[in-house]
Chain A
Amino acid sequence: AQSVTQLDSQVPVFEEAPVELRCNYSSSVSVYLFWYVQYPNQGLQLLLKYLSGSTLVESINGFEAEFNKSQTSFHLRKPSVHISDTAEYFCAVSDQETSGSRLTFGEGTQLTVNP
């Protein structure tokens, strides 16, 4: 079984400031790691994923996350946020050993970018 802990439920920042959303996970097997973004009353959109290879993964809109196996973390960062980044962000894991396995999500972090 897996579990995901997102350490901050709410993160308020000012526009153009850097931000880090923290995620730790627990699993007895190897996992894939994900960050999803959710805008109000919408479904989930995949932001970025770690499957294998380089531990630093990037999205097309400037977010990046680094897989740290020793610390079992997958923190999300952006060097300069925009108002449009305001949304709920979910960290998730899935079991590498079972094809099509469920996603296990954290509780979410509400990122609010203020002008």
Chain B
Amino acid sequence: EAEVAQSPRYKITEKSQAVAFWCDPISGHATLYWYRQILGQGPELLVQFQDESVVDDSQLPKDRFSAERLKGVDSTLKIQPAELGDSAMYLCASSSVDYNSYNEQFFGPGTRLTVL
């Protein structure tokens, strides 16, 4: 069964360092989402791609976060510099595109980031 892949699964870093997370969506899925889930809260969307284009990054802290999906397939989310408040689970999801029906989002296992 096709799955969304994410790496690393766990990352520990010190504040002010740079970190990067990688996501490989299900093959053929044009839409890719990055969510952040702070401990004890529900996930919140950071950025959404349609192919290689950003369609929603209204909640992305652009002073320190960046995301790219250069070839419209896999994606990288970067934080530089990391702050203590960035400690969270970072979830990637993907979906197909059908404008006539609902497109289910499939989630990867997540990357747990701890900033010390």
Contacts and interface: CB of A to CB of B under 8 A. Distances in A.
A32 B43 contact: no
Nearest to A105: B42
A15 interface: no
A106 B91 CA distance: 16
B89 to A, nearest CB: 8
Interface stretch (A39-47, A54-62, A65-73, A74-82): A39-47
A43 B109 contact: yes
B48 A102 contact: yes
Interface stretch (B67-75, B78-86, B99-107): B99-107
- Chain A interface size, under 10 / 10 to 19 / 20 to 34 / 35 or more: 20 to 34
Contacts, number: 55
A26 to B, nearest CB: 15
A113 interface: no
B40 A107 contact: yes
B87 interface: no
A53 interface: no
A99 interface: yes
B67 to A, nearest CB: 14
A100 B42 CA distance: 19
Contacts of A32: 102
Contacts of A44: 43, 91, 93, 107
Nearest to B50: A100
A101 B21 CA distance: 23
Interface centre among B9, B33, B42, B98 (most CB of A within 10 A): B42
Contact of B43 (A51, A96, A105): A105
17 contacts: A4-B42, A32-B102, A42-B110, A43-B109, A44-B43, A44-B91, A96-B102, A99-B97, A99-B103, A100-B31, A100-B48, A100-B97, A103-B43, A105-B42, A105-B44, A106-B42, A107-B42
Interface of B: 4, 9, 31, 33, 35, 40-45, 48, 50, 55-56, 91, 93, 95, 97-99, 102-105, 107-110, 112
Interface of A: 4, 32, 41-46, 49, 51, 90, 92, 96, 99-100, 102-103, 105-108
